[in-house]
Structure 1
Amino acid sequence: MRTMSNTEARPQEVRCTGGTAPDDAHGHPPVQILEPRDVPLGGVRAMAVRRTLPQRARSLIGAWCFADHYGPTDVRAGAGMDVPPHPHIGLQTVSWLFSGEIEHRDSLGTHAFVRPGELNLMTGGHGICHSEVSTERTALLHGVQLWVALPGDHRDAPRAFQHHVPAPVEHAGATVRVLLGSLCGQTSPVETFTPLLGAELLLPARAELSLDVDPAFEHGVLVDSGTLGLEGTALAPAELGFTPPGRDRLHLTNTDDAPARVILLGGEPFEEDIIMWWNFVGGSHEDIVQAREDWMAGRRFGEVTGYDGAPLPAPPLPNATLKPRSRPS
């Protein structure tokens, strides 16, 4: 189910901290635009993904610490998803598709399929591994892959897998599907370890939408299709708009003559300093080193059965202590 592996050959350590921006000249929390960067998922014929979290401008929205957005990609030519077994610690992974199908296998023994409109959430905790492969039934692959950082007292939580099909609800003309948390009178039953919000919003052409939200949350709006106005700030496709805590309503406007689709993320600011490196989230350099050693030695993470191929090797660690990134201003 979860987010794709980070297959970068030289992944950088990232300090994932929240931080809030000052109010604008009118006394309102400003909208910060986070632009994506293109990242190849795999080798020479890799499928490209657009990554908006983490980045230097901001590494967290609530506990959301990683966001990949991809497609629509025609995978019939061979450039699909094929991520060998790879490990995770200290995080939960969230998979959500708009089109296509992904086969998921993990060291819990789970064999499941990620399909449009169906949430799959995997808890890595102390250690889990899994593979992700787009199926032969897939023509266009299109979706988002997300990670949620676990707080320190739950970082070693037991591995787990949850599946949920959120019912679509109509709100002011828009269609809302609540993946995690609560919105528009709907509450997801999926367990998380910090207060979170995740939802898909479909806005008709030229529609305006106001949402009651938790003012203790910071929020991010990732645009999949259409051109969106968030609190009057224009967001293009693949951009992510960030608002700090303080708003009890979010106002969105679809400025296109076609429907728009966005992913809404939110959560209480994550106050802990954590280090992300490769597919690991830890509280210290030693956490990351130990996880890498365990993976390469075949310990701790279990095995994925049914995948045709070798596990993904971990990249080499840098010749220095992994340092957290400075807090965004």
Structure 2
Amino acid sequence: MSDVEAEHVGAVHGAGPDGRRESGPPEVEVFTPRDVPLGGPRAMTVRRTLPQRARTLIGAWCFADHYGPDDVGRTGGMDVAPHPHTGLQTVSWLFSGEIEHRDSLGSHAYVRPGELNLMTGGYGISHSEVSTPRTTILHGVQLWVALPGEHRDTARDFQHHTPEPDRLDGAELRVFLGSLAGHESPVRTFTPLLGAEILLEPGAAVTLDVDPAFEHGLLVDHGDVRMAGTLLRPAELGFIPTGADALTLANESRETARAVLLGGTPFEEEIVIWWNFIGRDHDAIVRAREEWQNSADRFGVVEGYPGGRLPAPALPNAVIMPRRNPRRR
């Protein structure tokens, strides 16, 4: 999951001709994804929305891949061999299909629609992800959360949670992290976060109370959704900075719209993202890569995957520089 490809710069909506913010709905920044091959020699293509040059994080959310609907009979589906992670949590959320997860903690679990799998890499973990023979259409998101400095070397962990759906007028919510509309996830995170799937009936609108200390991002899966006055089309992500205490979402399409709402308090630390590692400087990435290539105990062993591990790509011929979000204007 290397982040070395070219990036798109988002467009800002809700600003006047001189660049200053106008009164009215909160400013919305719109990001479009880029296509990225995922998984080595049997790669499937995903749409990567975070990170971008113009925005590295939304809260502690630092990575967002969106894939499908993928006909696995035609494409072969997902087959990602054992690979390492450091300094992050992975969040797997499916709309359709099923993925078999194995990790070096000994976890053997399945990712299914409406069920959260959260894996904590911390100091080091490895895992594999394979779509099952029962899968015909694979469709979902893979998200990463950056761990704050005091927890970046925490122990491996794995959590599973099935949130109850919440029916609102014209909408359905599944809150898998944090709290929204009176529902709170029991899953542990290391910074304040929000993660929720939202379904909007055709023509429906809903206003949600949100934490004004949070940044928010809405990733649209299908349908045309207007957020805070800005229209977002499928695969686009709309970003709103801190300060908003309510978000209005309206489905302007003739079919049910689906989106994933992400949020969190601003993550002020600089991070280095390279391949599957998050660190604080170039040397941390070099050490992690070397230990993975040398099969160090740091990452453990994934049992039960029928094949070898993914080798790390070559390091760039330059120092990998830390990244952070741009300063607020």
* TM value normalised by structure 2: 0.92
CA contact (8 A) 1:100 1:141 kept: yes
CA contact (8 A) 1:13 1:322 kept: no
> 1-side partners of 2:211 and 2:20: how far apart?
18
| Number of equivalences | 316
Q: 2:121 aligns with which of 113, 120, 124?
A: 124
CA contact (8 A) 2:173 2:198 kept: yes
CA contact (8 A) 2:25 2:228 kept: no
Residue type at the aligned position of 1:165: T
Q: 1:160 aligns with which of 149, 157, 162?
A: 157
Q: 2:306 aligns with which of 284, 305, 308?
A: 308
- Please report how far the alpha carbon of residue 38 of structure 1 lies from its aligned counterpart in structure 2 after TM superposition: 0.8
Residue 181 of structure 2 is aligned to residue 184 of structure 1: yes
Structure-1 residue corresponding to 2:235: 238
Residue 322 of structure 2 is aligned to residue 321 of structure 1: no
Q: Deviations over 1:46-82 (max 9, x none)?
A: 3211110001121100000000000000001243100
Structure-2 residue corresponding to 1:70: 67
Q: 1:268 to 1:240 in 2, by over 3 A?
A: same
> 1-side partners of 2:88 and 2:40: how far apart?
25
CA contact (8 A) 2:62 2:146 kept: yes
Residue type at the aligned position of 1:156: D
Residue 220 of structure 2 is aligned to residue 227 of structure 1: no
Q: 1:312 to 1:104 in 2, by over 3 A?
A: same
Query: Which structure 2 segments of 5+ residues have no match?
Result: 8-14
- Please report how far the alpha carbon of residue 327 of structure 1 lies from its aligned counterpart in structure 2 after TM superposition: 4.2
CA contact (8 A) 1:49 1:68 kept: yes
Of 205-214 and 44-53, deviating more is: 44-53
CA contact (8 A) 1:222 1:262 kept: yes
SS at match of 2:299: coil
Residue type at the aligned position of 1:285: H
> 2-side partners of 1:63 and 1:193: how far apart?
9
Of 43-52 and 213-222, deviating more is: 43-52
> 2-side partners of 1:186 and 1:129: how far apart?
32
SS at match of 2:48: strand
RCO (CA 8 Å, sep 6+): is it higher in 1 or 2?
A: 1
Residue type at the aligned position of 2:326: P
CA contact (8 A) 1:119 1:163 kept: yes
> 1-side partners of 2:54 and 2:274: how far apart?
18
> 2-side partners of 1:126 and 1:45: how far apart?
28
SS at match of 1:38: strand
Q: Deviations over 1:191-222 (max 9, x none)?
A: 00000000000000000110000000000000
Structure-1 residue corresponding to 2:48: 51
Q: Deviations over 1:83-120 (max 9, x none)?
A: 00000000000000000000000000111100000000
> 2-side partners of 1:326 and 1:262: how far apart?
26
Residue type at the aligned position of 1:61: I
CA contact (8 A) 1:199 1:263 kept: yes
SS at match of 1:295: helix
Query: Which structure 1 segments of 5+ residues have no match?
Result: 1-5, 15-20
CA contact (8 A) 2:40 2:310 kept: no
Aligned-pair identity (%): 66
Residue type at the aligned position of 1:304: V
* TM value normalised by structure 1: 0.92
CA contact (8 A) 2:26 2:228 kept: no
Residue 82 of structure 2 is aligned to residue 85 of structure 1: yes
Residue 4 of structure 2 is aligned to residue 11 of structure 1: yes
Residue type at the aligned position of 1:135: T
> 2-side partners of 1:137 and 1:317: how far apart?
38
Q: 2:196 aligns with which of 155, 178, 199?
A: 199
> 2-side partners of 1:172 and 1:56: how far apart?
38
> 2-side partners of 1:59 and 1:253: how far apart?
27
